[in-house]
A and B are shown apart, each in its own frame.
Chain A
Amino acid sequence: MNKIKCECGHINPEGTVLCEACGKPIEGNQHIDGNDKKLLLNMRYEGSARRSQTYRKSFVDKVWSFFSSVKVGVWLIVLALVASMIGTLFPQQQFIPPNAESRDPAVYYEAQFGMVGKIYYQLGFHEMYSSWWYLILLGLIGVSLVICSLDRFVPLYKALKIQKPRRHETFLNRQRFFSETEEVSKADIGQVKEKLRKQRYKVTEQNGHILAEKGRFSRWGPYVNHIGLIIILLAAILRSTPIMFTDEYVWVRDGETTVIPGTKGDYYVENKQFILDTHDPEDERFKDALEISGAVASNFQTDVVIYKATNNDVPGAKPELEPILTESIQMNKPAKFNGYTLYQSGYQPNEFSSMTFKIHETDDEDATAIDSFTINLFEPESEYILDNGFRAVIDQYYPDYYLDDDGIPASETNYPRNPAFVLAVYPPETSLPEVSFIGIGRNIDATGENEYKVAIQDFETHFVSGMTLRVDRTLIFFGLGAAIFMIGVIQGMYWQHRRVWIHPKNNGLLLAAHTNKNWFGLARDIEKAIEKTNIKMVEARQELDK
């Protein structure tokens, strides 16, 4: 390594721009921080020797200096920003509206948005935020964060530690705040020192050279907040593992007890009842708004009992359930047990529990029931023998009937949301059945020759509550990362690192000052300090960019 010895005697590492001790610009290195073309010195990193600016030969050097560039970092941020924007141009796959004609992404995007939509889908933009290149982009931002921070923090820390009150004249007269006063009395200098101390500056002296400094810790703010961000990115990686994160959904109808998926069969939930409250339309306060909007829900609630299965280790045994928690789950009020959290996240109104059918003569205009029977939609029997000698056999049962793409009847889910049956009715003393197809709003006579007709007489419905089970062991890391980030930004943004230098020269002095932000505040500090003295106020020489 080629160490550089400054005229003040300090030995600087290779690549130093401004001497760590006295700040004198080191010849031959000024282009690194762009000082050669400007009057003012670039004080961003105190002119310290950064690895990225010093070693640029080997492959590792090149990668290092690539990622340590703020410009590259900004580009990565801008790319992520643009990609994020594109992702909101059309709805992401999970947000395709439920009332869309087709929710199949291959169909939806083209049908809804035409050619552009098709291209959007083919480029994979409908799953933007889980696409490999979006994730790589975030990963690269992470790499850039680490390298940028290391590249700057270490030399900056050293430079600020080594800095001496005595600064080189060139360093001072190339600061943004600078003034030179010809004649100054000792008393005046003493007063300035005192006033700076009063403003909570830490004043150090070296042969009459004075350095007043405050808020140095704010310089570490950016590095602290970057640590926070890195923790958040690492937590996001952890979250993609099943140990750290579980996400399951369960539908439980009123009165039902069922195993909670994602708990390895250890826990069961009983839905005592689902409650849907709406705001009172007569409420004086909200009358006007409710008239326009119609009913507005005020509460979604499931009263649950959570059970632990005590004999889950015995294969095939009927679970023995021991209640561990009785809770009313509401929006914003999930139930917590043993690291699991159960959220209210949906409901299904009017799911059918049972249906009652009657049989009447096809020709009977009054449709007087000859006989009737009730099917429990969760436990339908295969055959119903009726009092009047009729026999009804369930030939087909579609709990959630729909016609599939080929026009064949099918069931979309196993829940009786839209039940339909193919029923074979055997009138008394016959062995030939009359077949009909019955559902909500449907009643089709298969042959058109049926003597008896089956019709829906009555039905019962119930609510089904949808609950989400989550285990997220990464939350603590996200929280930690966010907290560190906030500490870092506040440290870096709400405080400033201010320094004032006084450099005796002949009978007078040079006064210079620097801050990393809020020059206005620094100017006020100096004004206060030199009040009623002979010392000239510093001149602000900012070079604004066109």
Chain B
Amino acid sequence: MDLVNLSGNLLYAAFILYLIATLFFGATIRDKRSTKSKKGISGNIAITITILGFLAQLGYFITRWMASGHAPLGNMFEFVTFLGMAMVLGFIIIYFMYRIGFLGLFALPLAMIIIAYASMFPTQLAPLVPTLNTSWLYIHVSTVAVGQGILFISFVAGLMYLIKKIDQKKRTKKNIGLELILYMIFLFVGFIVSTTTFSIMDYDATFEYQDGTQIIETEYRLPAIAAPNNGVLLTENVMEPWFEAPGWMQGADAGRKFNTVIWSVITGTILYGLTVLILRKRVGAALQPLLRGVKAELLDEIMYRAVTIGFPIFTLGGLIFASIWAQIAWGRFWGWDPKEVWALITWFFYAAFLHLRLSRGWHGEKSGWLAVIGFGIILFNLIVVNLVIAGLHSYA
């Protein structure tokens, strides 16, 4: 078996191991009557499997590095997969600080969604362009990912805090807000489901459209609901588009990406709808009882602590190492590129979060919302800025 296949299989194994570990973490929370030692055992099994999964993923990383000759951090698939790995690492670190299994029940599935999301992007080994061909790629990108992975734990703890504490008895603004966050997670799943389905069917439709002064061809892997602006369908015997993407949408392949978003929303909404139908209540309300045995104070502490650990690492990787590299590559350490600006926005946001924790009235629930929003900014920078706002970091 060659290295590339081995690498792919290791990633697959990691994914399965995370899934099994999640089930064991579930056992730590499910059975309230079970004795402390029993809980301890299933917790130990769960974290052991998590670490095995992490090692498998590390194996994926190393073998892929050996296969391509550069650290696999060069495109969207490679970076997002690494981010997923950093999230698991963040979880393992926090687990050993606080020894709380229930965190894994939420953190691991979310990390798995991120890893699955990554594999929706082209996974072939790709060569590096000259700008990326330096060891600063590894230093900058891996530090950022580890920082973000730890901040992700803050998001998980914040989300759990909100699920636990927000009143679900009657419909309120707060529980609708929480539901919206959970719904967005469904959209990710919707994206993964629709992309996987049509990729198995090998769907393909080609469009031609004008971008500025150039004529560009683009391939749709999902049936076109929205065609590119002023696009012409070239492939025969495929679904005709329903409408065109609006003209103000910028960047390469804006129409195709917009179409993907539409598909994610449709599929995600159907999945969410089915879930609510089966549960017969809000998803937040259905999750709430799971957290009955968890102390709110501990969740509050973890979400703050994760920020205090993740923030310096993020600053180091996302701003300082980034600036050093930019200075070496382009002769300017800061250029107000959208990606740079969003890293600064993330930094501003968590700085504000840390300062708000100094004042009374911002612990607990408000902190929970902030932790969730903060990670939303990180994801925005990863997905929207990379794929929609054109700039130096547009990989895919």
Contact = CB atoms under 8 A, between A and B. Distances in A.
A373 interface: no
A482 to B, nearest CB: 5
Nearest to B338: A88
Interface residues of A, number: 74
Interface string A314-353: 0000000000000000111010000001010100000000
B366 A545 contact: yes
B383 interface: no
A489 B313 CA distance: 10
Given A486-B315, A520-B301, A332 B363 contact: no
B43 interface: no
Interface in B212-260: 212-214, 247-248, 250
Contacts of A332: 130-131, 133-134, 136, 325, 328-329
A198 interface: no
A139 to B, nearest CB: 15
Contacts, number: 185
Contact of A544 (B131, B345, B364, B385): B364
Given A101-B212, A332-B131, A545-B366, A80 B358 contact: no
Given A70-B359, A544-B300, A546-B364, A289 B312 contact: no
Interface string A115-144: 011000000000001000000000000000
A67 to B, nearest CB: 14
Given A112-B250, A298-B133, A489-B315, A285 B125 contact: yes
22 contacts: A70-B355, A74-B352, A78-B352, A81-B349, A88-B385, A91-B250, A95-B390, A101-B212, A112-B250, A116-B248, A286-B125, A298-B130, A331-B131, A332-B133, A345-B330, A472-B327, A475-B333, A482-B320, A520-B301, A542-B300, A545-B362, A545-B364
B143 to A, nearest CB: 12
Given A297-B130, A298-B133, 15 more contacts: A77-B352, A85-B345, A88-B338, A95-B391, A99-B213, A290-B126, A296-B129, A334-B328, A478-B333, A485-B315, A486-B315, A493-B309, A517-B305, A517-B308, A545-B362
A170 to B, nearest CB: 19
Contacts of A94: 336
A525 to B, nearest CB: 14
Contacts of A80: 348
Interface in B181-239: 211-214
Interface in B312-340: 312, 315-316, 319-320, 323, 325, 327-333, 336-338
B375 to A, nearest CB: 15
A293 B126 contact: yes
B89 to A, nearest CB: 17
B289 to A, nearest CB: 20
Interface in A482-524: 482, 485-486, 489-490, 493-494, 517-520
B333 A518 contact: no
A107 to B, nearest CB: 13
A490 B341 CA distance: 24
B151 interface: no
A257 interface: no
A299 interface: yes
B364 A70 contact: no
Contacts of A84: 341, 344-345, 348
A129 B337 CA distance: 11
A289 B344 contact: no
Contacts of B366: 545
A187 interface: no
A545 B363 contact: yes
B124 interface: yes
Sort chain B's interface into a size bin. Answer: 35 or more
Contacts of A517: 304-305, 308
Interface of B: 67-69, 97-98, 122, 124-131, 133-134, 136, 211-214, 247-248, 250, 296-298, 300-301, 304-305, 308-309, 311-312, 315-316, 319-320, 323, 325, 327-333, 336-338, 341-342, 344-345, 348-349, 351-352, 355-356, 358-366, 385, 389-391
B352 A518 contact: no
B250 to A, nearest CB: 7
A71 B333 CA distance: 31
A286 B126 contact: yes
A279 interface: yes
B367 to A, nearest CB: 8
Contacts of B309: 493-494
Nearest to B98: A520
A540 B356 contact: no
A290 B301 CA distance: 48
Chain B contact surface mostly: helix
Nearest to B354: A493
A39 B128 CA distance: 60
B214 A99 contact: yes
B368 to A, nearest CB: 10
Contacts of A298: 127-130, 133
A237 to B, nearest CB: 14
A88 B333 contact: no
A88 B297 CA distance: 37
Contacts of B337: 95
A292 B125 CA distance: 12
A116 B127 CA distance: 40
A264 B125 CA distance: 47
Contact of A546 (B305, B342, B365): B365
Contacts of A116: 248
A300 interface: yes
B390 A97 contact: yes
A334 B331 contact: yes
Contacts of B128: 298
B348 A288 contact: no
Contacts of A366: none
A60 interface: no
Contact of A114 (B248, B319, B332): B248
**Closest 7 A/B residue pairs (Cβ):** A99-B212, A544-B364, A289-B126, A331-B130, A289-B124, A493-B308, A81-B348
Contacts of B247: 112
A174 interface: no
A173 interface: no
Interface in A20-36: 34
Q: Which of B134, B344, B351, B361 has the most CB of A within 10 A?
A: B351
Contact of B348 (A77, A95, A297, A341): A77
Contacts of A283: 127
Given A288-B124, A292-B122, A486-B315, A544 B331 contact: no
A274 to B, nearest CB: 13
Nearest to B384: A88
A388 B360 CA distance: 96
Contacts of B213: 99, 101
A129 B305 contact: no
A197 interface: no
A117 B315 CA distance: 33
Contacts of B327: 472, 475
Nearest to A280: B127
Contacts of A494: 308-309, 312
Q: Which of B315, B325, B359, B390 has the most CB of A within 10 A?
A: B359
Nearest to A492: B308
A51 to B, nearest CB: 18
A157 interface: no
B326 to A, nearest CB: 10
B352 A289 contact: no
A81 B363 contact: no
A70 B358 contact: yes
A44 interface: yes
A135 B356 CA distance: 24
A164 interface: no
